[in-house]
Every structure is written in C-alpha cells, then in structure tokens.
Structure 1
C-alpha cells in the first residue's frame, strides 16, 4: 500500500494534545521516526496550483464567496482530486497517490479538464504560471492561519516576500515515496541536487505584480527572501542521515504560530527546541506533540519529508509540459539508471539555486545538465507522455523555459492581454 496520501490543507490539521512535545529528546525521536517510511518506490502524488482570473477583467481578483460557490458546484472529478483555495485565491488540485507517474498524470489531466470547464462556465480562467504577473499581492482566503501568517511575516520584516509567497505564487508539487531505507541518503541528496536543474527547466514566472523582475523563476526568488531556517534545504553537512537532518532542522526552526486556540503569530525568534525545553514559554505553556506537528506545517523546505518526499521547488507550468516535467522528476529519482545519470549530470550545479532561478537554462552548465536529465527521462517515457516529453526536450535543447514563452507573449500583447489569453485557454 502506498505511503503517499492526500496532503490536505494546514487548516484541516487535527490537534491532539500529548505531552511528549514538551521534551526536546522526545520531540527529536518523533521527528526522526516519522521523517521517512521504508518501502518500495513507484507511487506518485501530484498537486497543481493555478491562478484564478476573471476572463472579462483580469485585474480583478475573484473573491472567497465566488470561488467557494464555483467549487461547490463542481461535478465529481474523475481522478478524485481534492480542490482547495490558496490564500490569494489560487485553486489547487491535490490528487490521490497513483501507482506510477503515467497514472498520476492521466488522473490529474482529467481533473484539470473538468475543473477548467466548470470555472469557464462562470467566466473564470485558471492560469498555470509560477507567479501572478498582473495583480498586487492580496489575500482572499479568510482562514485564521493565513491571517496569522501575514502578521508573522510583517513582524519578521519579510512582509512583502511573505505576502507574495502566500498570494502570488503557484507550483506543481510532486510527492514520491521515500524508498528503501538503505537508499534514503542518496535519494534525498539527489532530490536536492536536482533542484537547480528542475527549477531552470520549469521556470515560469518572469513577471510579478505588473513588471518584469529579471528572474526566470520569480517564484523561487520570492521563497529565497524568506528565512532560510524555515524555507532553506534540510540537508546537513554530509547528507548521510536525512532523518537526523530533518529533526535538527525542525527543532532549530523558529516557531511561527501557536494555537490559543486560534493561530497566533510568534513575533520573537524562538526555536522549537527552546519552547520544548522550557527556555521560553509561548502562550504561557510548554508545547504538546500537537504543537510540534503543527509547527511542521509551517516549515517549507524545497524537499520536505512527510514519510514520503514532498518536492516543492517547481513553478506551475502549462498543461502542455507539466506532464513531462512531472515524469522527468519522478523518473530521475525512481529509475536507478536514470538516477545515476542525474547524479552525475547535476554534480557541478547541485547548489546553484539562485543562478537557476535568475537565468535558468541560459547558464551553460545548467543547460548541459538539463539536456542530459531530460534525455534520460525521455528514453523511458511511455506513449501517453511522449508528446509532452518531445515538447519539453525541444524547449530544453533550445535553452528555453516556459518563462521565455510567457515573456514573449507579454511583450507582444501586454501583460493583461497575455494573462487573458491564457485564462481563455489560448496556446
């Protein structure tokens, strides 16, 4: 049975009080034991976020009541994805785990088609871009968690980046099994090493809030402006023990929110370990295990261990190529021969996160690594993914990412018209 599951939303986390969270050693043991699950690779889960636009007025941000009413009227989704609304009104599909990448892609493709058609009937378009190129950051989801997060980011002097992250970015997230325990270290290292190359391949956010930013993946740029203790990679110095790396990362990360009983922002820097051992009391108390579990939902590393591996560094990319991007990433991690190729190809660019986000495939080393990785995946692609793989391979060979296509469209037609065209389904 797959260890993957529907991710759900952080607002739906059930809080079960347990005193074990009060002891740093117990907390570390809990983190270590729950980090990764021993088992075979294969199953894949997908989550895809799309910005929602009024096709008649792309500057207008559809409101919460409008979005929830549209979702309530949806027919049954054939692939059984969950539908949720992000803080800024982006609509997310979270698919159940499928047996392999091709099955996950097929299910998500069918759900995307149903979702797009239903939203279009109400004059709304769903656009797959890594960042909102037109509208200023603004929250429409009234959830108390997101209100508290806004206050936290303002208090920590990252208000602009926090608001952009919450309300103006969108991604394709790929969830993969942790694999056999003996492979965890290599697997987690490779998932990180692939980050810069996959960011360059999938970069699709050259414009944010009405202006070109000079970055191919402005989404990645926004995330890099948040504190690295919460959003940076979890890898330790050697990367030989990812479970210990995750426990150390989570205990050192500052507490963002405390339930009292609603989420309340923590405006001073308090590592969870300091709360757990009583050096600092938050909400006039020590933490419970439920507090620790909730703390984990406020950590956003590019690869997050949740029993499985949650790969979070991809921009949202167009329907024509996201299947190929997903298949490439899953194949490079799950196929042993492709993994060896990817490990060798990415060795010289494994830490080039900012370089990848800024210039993408224009970097010679990233371009060469991307070509090797995509070719390795393309050689293993089944027929149902081949058309998308061919399109991705041609783009990568030309040194182009989706960001280049959108930039060309925005220059030719203007940003607003470019967004409207995509919202209306024009290729």
Structure 2
C-alpha cells in the first residue's frame, strides 16, 4: 500500500496563496483558519510505535527494511494511513469517526494487522513514549527532517531536537472544535487536562538505555525545546483561542522556508519570529512571505494542543495495547461529553498548569493523583461494555498510583531492558 501523510479532518479549501500585507494580515489569516464552527462528535486517533529488529534490539532497522514491510500491507480495514517518523517509528493515522468507540475499534483492527506484518518480518513495534534503549538517530532520509536537524543545532537544542524526532512516540487525538460560542471553554479544558492526562499516560521512564528519573521522558524532551514553538498556547484564562494561536504562531521563530528554486526545505539558522518576516523587517530567501509560507510555518509548530480547524491533542505518551483504548476514551469523553467536561474542569483546576510536575513525577504527586482518579472514574462511568476490560485496568492502575511506565521500569530493572521490550510484542 502507499504511505503518505494524510489529514484526518479536512479543513475547507482556502484561497490560492497570496502575499501577506503585514503582521496584522498574517494574524487574521491564522485566526480565521484556526477553528471550525461545527458540532462535536468526530474523533480521529493516531498512534506511534518504535520499530525494533527482534534479532538485535540495539540496532535501528534501516529505512529500506521498514518500507519493505509497508509495501506488503493490505488495505487496512479501519482506513488508517501509515507514516514513518524520522527515527523509524511507525505511525497509524486513522480517519475521523463519529464517536470515540468506532475510532478505537477501527484503530485496533488496523494495529493488529500492522503488528502481525512487522512481526512476520522479524521486527517488533513497541508502544512506549520514548525509546528506552537506543540513542537518537535519524533513518528517514526526508530533506525536511535534515533541515529540521540543522535548525535545532543552530538554536542550541540539537540534542533535544534529535531525541524529539527520533526517540519519542505518542498517542494523538483529533477532535472537533465544536460550536463557536464554546471554543474558549473547550480549548481551556483541553489544556487544563494536559498535566493530569500526562500523569495518567506516563510511559517513558527510560531513554537511551538509562532511567531518566522522569515519569514521562517524552515530555521531558519536549520541555527542553523552545517554548515559543513547543510550549502550551495558553494557560487557563484566554477567552479568544483563535487570537491566542495567531499570537503564538507569529511570535514563533521560522524554522524552514521553501526554496524559490526547487521547493526544498531551507533551514532558517537565525532566530526570526514570523512576525518580523511578515512585517518586512527581515527577508527570507530574498522575499516577503505568502500565505503558503505561513501555512508551512504552522506545520513546524508543536504545542501540546494545536488548532488545525479541529483540535489536535499531542501530549499523551504512547501506551500498551491493553491500555490505549481506555486512555483515548477517557480524554475524548472528558472533552466531548458535556457533563463529564463540566466535572473534569472543576477537578483539574488545581493542577491545570502543572506540566513539568506531571512529566517529572506523574501520579506520585498527590494533587495530580487525586485529579487522575476522579477524571478516570468519570470516564469509566460512561464507558460502553466493549471497553469494560481496558477501563477497569486503567481505573485500578490509576487508583494505585501506577502507570504503564512504572510497570516497564520495574521489568527493565528486574530482567533487563531488552527482555522488557521483548515482552511488549509478545502481548500481540
């Protein structure tokens, strides 16, 4: 089958690219496209998994070895697209479904086929937030990723940038923005839930062969990158998320510009906020920006909640097969069910900005633990019978203050990292 980056929710087609007049014009362009006024209900899931050679876990499979497996895949029944991350992680991107349960069922069906195909090829797919064994290394030859490496090096975050691109993996939820009059409340809640859900889903206690001391080493890595590009868009008080996103995007430094000669990605090695380019204070590639340049800039911004006409929620570690359906159901329910959302907003208010604490200690923090128990319990009360097993597992673990990462760390200490990894795909 073919594999390419595809959009889960499809924004309405915009006008053809045009020159930007100034920074205010750029801000209006961003705000107009940031969120779409629509009913709630659609859910899209994306899940990344690290790819290992089962005969030598310390070696990254080559680009050709991984793509050869992809070429053998049948059309996936759930409609997922398959993409490859810079370090060889394999991502399934599911289409939107009406309701979280259909999205979960479709993703589970596609993951079963993907897991079997890689296993038959002598490879294993591990659902962990960070690669616990291998150092960062890029195998994807895409020129965009090479340019990103150059940008991160020039900005003094080369190590963190390499780790982010090649050693982290996540679960991503894509949800409708909802009716316009509820945008502010909804975007605030999506952010406020972040620390609690990071603690619940923490599953990256090791990276590059070592215990890091962080519950979510994936989130630790993201925190080492510049906050202008990777930090939260807003806290808990913003009333106009479209305007906040425009402010954030314009203040973020330009990472890449398309070459005027061959459309290649050219890294911007100086710190140039997009607002300076839009306002004419700086020329990049000898020119002023267009709306196409601004669209490209937006693809290089990685906040934990990213408006893309829908809400792209990016803060969850990748978690094991037995748990990800419950984690996905919990977050979608706390945002899309009105009663659950109201209860969740009150519950997480004391920890709404505790991003660093959640990543560092997770459920060991008493306030985060209390919020997590309550939030998971709210979702569990609304779970369908089909998810009774995963939800009960998540409830039990959360009440005990345990995460998938705790279990993996214990196994790694007891039997070694390689044996603990092997157990992950034996589950399939």
CA contact (8 A) 1:137 1:167 kept: yes
* Corresponding residue SS for 1:19: coil
CA contact (8 A) 1:80 1:95 kept: yes
Render the CA deviation track for 1:125-181: whole Å, top value 9, x for unaligned: 100000000001000000010000001111111000000000000000000000111
Is residue 280 of structure 2 the alignment partner of residue 278 of structure 1?
Answer: yes
Q: 1:197 to 1:59 in 2, by over 3 A?
A: same
> 1:328 maps to which residue?
330
CA contact (8 A) 1:22 1:286 kept: no
**CA drift at 1:204:** 0.1
Cα distance between partner residues in 2 of 1:66 and 1:15: 38
Of 400, 403, 415, the match for 1:401? 403
Of 319, 337, 345, the match for 2:321? 319
Cα distance between partner residues in 1 of 2:397 and 2:237: 35
* Corresponding residue SS for 1:20: coil
**CA drift at 1:237:** 7.5
> 1:238 maps to which residue?
237
* Corresponding residue SS for 2:19: helix
> 1:250 maps to which residue?
249
CA contact (8 A) 1:202 1:325 kept: yes
> 1:364 maps to which residue?
366
> 2:158 maps to which residue?
159
Is residue 123 of structure 2 the alignment partner of residue 113 of structure 1?
Answer: no
CA contact (8 A) 1:191 1:303 kept: yes
Write the mapping of 1:84-233 to structure 2, written as runs, cut at 5 A. Answer: 84-233=83-232
CA contact (8 A) 2:42 2:176 kept: yes
Render the CA deviation track for 1:235-257: whole Å, top value 9, x for unaligned: 16731000000011111110000
CA contact (8 A) 2:192 2:235 kept: no
Q: 1:30 to 1:406 in 2, by over 3 A?
A: same
Render the CA deviation track for 1:190-232: whole Å, top value 9, x for unaligned: 0000000000000000000000000000000000000000001
Cα distance between partner residues in 1 of 2:199 and 2:23: 39
* Corresponding residue SS for 2:257: strand
Q: 1:283 to 1:237 in 2, by over 3 A?
A: farther
Cα distance between partner residues in 2 of 1:317 and 1:256: 30
Render the CA deviation track for 1:301-345: whole Å, top value 9, x for unaligned: 000000000000000000101000000000000111111111111
> 2:24 maps to which residue?
25
Cα distance between partner residues in 1 of 2:408 and 2:236: 38
* Corresponding residue SS for 1:34: helix
Q: 1:16 to 1:145 in 2, by over 3 A?
A: farther
Cα distance between partner residues in 1 of 2:127 and 2:114: 13
Is residue 422 of structure 2 the alignment partner of residue 420 of structure 1?
Answer: yes
Cα distance between partner residues in 2 of 1:56 and 1:15: 49
Q: CA RMSD in A?
A: 1.6
CA contact (8 A) 1:53 1:423 kept: no
Q: 1:22 to 1:146 in 2, by over 3 A?
A: farther
Q: 1:42 to 1:17 in 2, by over 3 A?
A: closer
Stretches of structure 1 that go unaligned for 5 or more consecutive residues are 9-13
Cα distance between partner residues in 1 of 2:334 and 2:390: 17
**CA drift at 1:425:** 3.2
Cα distance between partner residues in 2 of 1:388 and 1:223: 28
> 1:377 maps to which residue?
379
CA contact (8 A) 2:258 2:266 kept: yes
Render the CA deviation track for 1:331-365: whole Å, top value 9, x for unaligned: 00011111111111101000100100111101100
**CA drift at 1:19:** 2.6
CA contact (8 A) 1:324 1:385 kept: yes
Cα distance between partner residues in 2 of 1:186 and 1:306: 17
TM (norm. structure 2) is: 0.95
* Corresponding residue SS for 2:124: strand
Cα distance between partner residues in 2 of 1:377 and 1:238: 25
> 1:7 maps to which residue?
7
> 1:354 maps to which residue?
356
Cα distance between partner residues in 2 of 1:100 and 1:15: 27
Cα distance between partner residues in 1 of 2:235 and 2:295: 22
CA contact (8 A) 1:22 1:289 kept: no
Stretches of structure 2 that go unaligned for 5 or more consecutive residues are none
Cα distance between partner residues in 2 of 1:144 and 1:83: 19
TM (norm. structure 1) is: 0.95
Render the CA deviation track for 1:86-128: whole Å, top value 9, x for unaligned: 0000000000001100000000000000000011110111000
* Corresponding residue SS for 2:52: strand
**CA drift at 1:420:** 2.2
Size of the aligned set, in residue pairs, is: 417
